[in-house]
């Protein structure tokens, strides 16, 4: 199969820390062009990866052609219009989370890629983290989960929410998406949302019922003492306790416990691999080559941001 020709719009922090190295590592992808408004970032990144085609206007890059897929890696505010242009140029699209600032934008992007027959993917990296995948498989093999819990706390005391948008839709969405990955689609939501010493929503607790019949619990406090992320999955006679990307335990009785680490499963302790960033790029490129739909496509991501809004506002916006 022909290699996938990848271009980037954005040569910022997140793109350089995980996405450029992952595309460069993927033997089925060729990095062919880069665009950034910032000429210093453009030069540094293009020099590092030996990319000749360099642009400060992405319209020119798209017009020059010979590109299959575009990574649009930047803050969520300008995403919708850029992604629409990329899809209208017939290119497959990969974006970071959040998939837009609100679900109306996710919906518009989903419609743009579908209208143009393009593949799409949102970088929900946890789904590709080996400890999460392995623990989920163990519970699925035991008949599937009946209950799951997702915790995602950070100390943001005195800070503002990222990009001044909902911290639930922008960041906590990672673990909300995991609850959907574990349990299915939400059918009922009961939530408690609070503003602790702040004028923005920063504490979220929710009890969610899924179409599988399973129950999900979300606990996310953004005035906690430290950053802490943890999942629990409970099935009939099997429980998994996951500290991604580092380790997980799977219990099948009070005595029987299997332990594994991300480093063992991935063959490296590099966070880019153990946390699923490399795996998500492999999945995206593989789906393009095989003409399959990425699991975190825009239509699926719409359900995750809608669930965030349901938890926060008591009903989905779209």
Catalog residues that contact ligand NAD under the rule CB under 6 A. Answer: 9-15, 35-38, 41, 58, 73-76, 78, 82, 96-97, 123, 125
Minimum CB–partner distance for residue 12 and ligand NAD (Å): 2
Q: Which is nearer to ligand NAD, 16 or 239 (CB)?
A: 16
Which two structure tokens, joined as six digits, stand for 304? 């995750």
Residue partners of 51: CB distance under 8 A and separation at least 6:
31, 32, 33, 34, 45
Minimum CB–partner distance for residue 175 and ligand NAD (Å): 11
Minimum CB–partner distance for residue 32 and ligand NAD (Å): 16
Q: Which is nearer to ligand NAD, 13 or 227 (CB)?
A: 13
Q: Which is nearer to ligand NAD, 15 or 32 (CB)?
A: 15
Minimum CB–partner distance for residue 56 and ligand NAD (Å): 7
The CB-nearest residue to ligand NAD is: 12
Please enumerate, as own/partner, the contacts of 101-104 that have beta carbons within 8 Å and a separation of 24 or more: 101/76, 101/77, 101/163, 101/165, 101/169, 102/165, 102/169, 102/305, 102/309, 102/317, 103/169, 103/302, 103/305, 103/306, 103/309, 103/316, 103/317, 103/318, 104/317, 104/318
Least Cα distance to 236 among 223, 247, 252, 221 occurs for 252
Minimum CB–partner distance for residue 235 and ligand NAD (Å): 28
Q: Which is nearer to ligand NAD, 36 or 309 (CB)?
A: 36
Minimum CB–partner distance for residue 45 and ligand NAD (Å): 9
Residues in the chain: 318
Q: Which is nearer to ligand NAD, 10 or 279 (CB)?
A: 10
Q: Which is nearer to ligand NAD, 189 or 285 (CB)?
A: 285
Q: Which is nearer to ligand NAD, 175 or 250 (CB)?
A: 175
Minimum CB–partner distance for residue 258 and ligand NAD (Å): 27
């Amino acid at each position: 199969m022909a290699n996938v020709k990848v271009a980037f719009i954005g040569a910022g922090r997140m793109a350089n820390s995980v996405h450029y190295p992952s595309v460069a590592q993927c033997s089925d992808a060729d990095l062919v062009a880069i665009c950034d408004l910032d000429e210093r970032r453009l030069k540094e990144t293009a020099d590092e990866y030996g990319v000749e085609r360099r642009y400060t206007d992405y319209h020119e890059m798209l017009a020059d052609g010979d590109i299959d897929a575009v990574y649009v890696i930047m803050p969520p505010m300008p995403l919708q219009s850029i992604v629409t242009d990329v899809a209208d140029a017939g290119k497959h699209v990969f974006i970071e989370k959040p998939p837009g600032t609100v679900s109306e934008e996710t919906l518009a992007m989903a419609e743009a890629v579908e209208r143009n027959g393009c593949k799409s993917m949102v970088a929900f990296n946890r789904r590709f983290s080996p400890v999460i995948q392995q623990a989920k498989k163990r519970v699925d093999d035991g008949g599937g989960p009946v209950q799951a819990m997702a915790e995602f706390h950070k100390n943001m005391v005195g800070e503002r929410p990222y990009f001044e948008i909902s911290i639930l839709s922008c960041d906590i969405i990672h673990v909300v998406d995991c609850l959907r990955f574990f349990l299915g689609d939400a059918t009922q939501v009961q939530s408690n949302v609070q503003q602790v010493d702040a004028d923005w929503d920063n504490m979220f607790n929710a009890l969610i019922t899924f179409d599988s019949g399973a129950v999900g619990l979300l606990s996310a406090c953004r005035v906690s003492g430290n950053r802490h992320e943890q999942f629990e999955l409970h099935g009939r006679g099997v429980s998994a306790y996951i500290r991604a990307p580092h380790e997980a335990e799977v219990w099948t009785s009070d005595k029987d416990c299997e332990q594994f680490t991300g480093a063992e499963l991935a063959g490296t302790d590099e966070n880019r691999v153990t946390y699923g960033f490399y795996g998500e790029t492999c999945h995206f490129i593989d789906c393009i080559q095989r003409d399959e739909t990425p699991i975190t496509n825009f239509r699926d991501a719409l359900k995750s941001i809608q669930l965030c809004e349901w938890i926060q506002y008591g009903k989905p916006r779209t």
